[in-house]
Structure formats: C-alpha cells, structure tokens
Amino acid sequence: MNRTWIGAALGAAIVAASCGQGRAIFNVDAYSFLKGSGKDTVPYAAPPLASNFGASTAPQKISLVPGLSSSGIDTVQVTGTGEFRNASGGPGTIKFQVYLASDSAGTYASTKDSLLSPAPSATISGANTAQVILNAPNLSPAGDSLFSKSQVWVRIVASVSNTGATLMQGKAVLTGLQLHVVVQDKLF
C-alpha cells in the first residue's frame, strides 16, 4: 500500500516538474466512475403538458488525486457528452444538468446551481435521439475548494417540459464526462 502511494506521489512530482511554472495537470475520466453503475442514466416519464418535470440519479462519488488540499487550483474544466433517448411522446424540451458537491447531500442543495449554465437542451418528439455537448470552460475560483479535496460527488438531472398531449418517456444518458484540473505547486 505504501509503495503505491509513494509511486503515485513520485509520478505526480514528475508530472508537476514537467509542466513548468509549478503547475500539474490532472485529467479525470469521471464518466468511468458512472458508466455501468446505473448512475449514468436518468429515466423520465413526463405527463402531458408538464413543465420542468425533473428526474435524477442518486449521487455518485468520484475520487480525485489525494494531496491537493495545500495546492491552489488554477483552472477546472468540465467537458462531456450526453444523449436524450426519447421512446415516445412529445414534442418536448429536455435539459441536462450536472451537480457537483463535496458530499452527496450537497448535490441536492436548493442553492446549488447546475454545473452547466445554461443547461444543454434539445427539443425532441416521438422515438428519437438527440445528442448534447456538456461544457463548463472554467469553474475557478468557484470550484477551487471543491477540487482541492480527495473526492467530489456528482448527480445528473433531466428536466423535461412536455408540450404534447401524451406521456413523454425515455432516458437521458451521460456518454462522457471529463474533469481537467490544473493545480499550482505545493503538491503533497
């Protein structure tokens, strides 16, 4: 166990030294923590003429690089992709929202804004699929304290506005989510 952490610390030090100016770059494939867990898919069934009908996953923990608490966060970028796989109903608009917090309860906080603002959306009807791009170009300084911890929690929400006269049902599926964190020196 200690060899693993020593190896990880040495690897991070080499990355930090090679980045210049005392910065280290960590790319975290957050989607790999969600894929296949059921927490990458949000089923929805919005009744006719419903506005902002919400459905969500349970929060999922994502492990980050330990030892960043003494480092300054320079930049945090979040990118990814999602799909709306409508099975029936509509027309309607579906929005994809991602919430991040330092604990699972924090992803439900009423004061919490979606990571993606405005939330990516698509208008869809009948048995159809629409793709959306997820992009939060820089969460710093708001994300500084969140990403300096050893874990972050994520929750995915689909918000459906069904303007049709029949039940609109399907699922919103996360198909990619990457975190790009640039930290300033003081690693470990």
Tens of pLDDT, residue by residue over 108-142, are 875 565 677 788 999 999 999 999 999 887 776 66
Burial code (b: 16+ CB inside 10 Å, e: under 16) for 81-91 equals bbbbbbeebbe
pTM above 0.85, yes or no: no
Instruction: Tell me the per-residue pLDDT of 159-184, one tens digit each, with 9 for 90 and over.
Output: 999 999 999 999 999 999 998 888 77
Q: What does the alpha-carbon distance between residue 141 and residue 144 come to, in Å, rounded to a whole number? A: 5
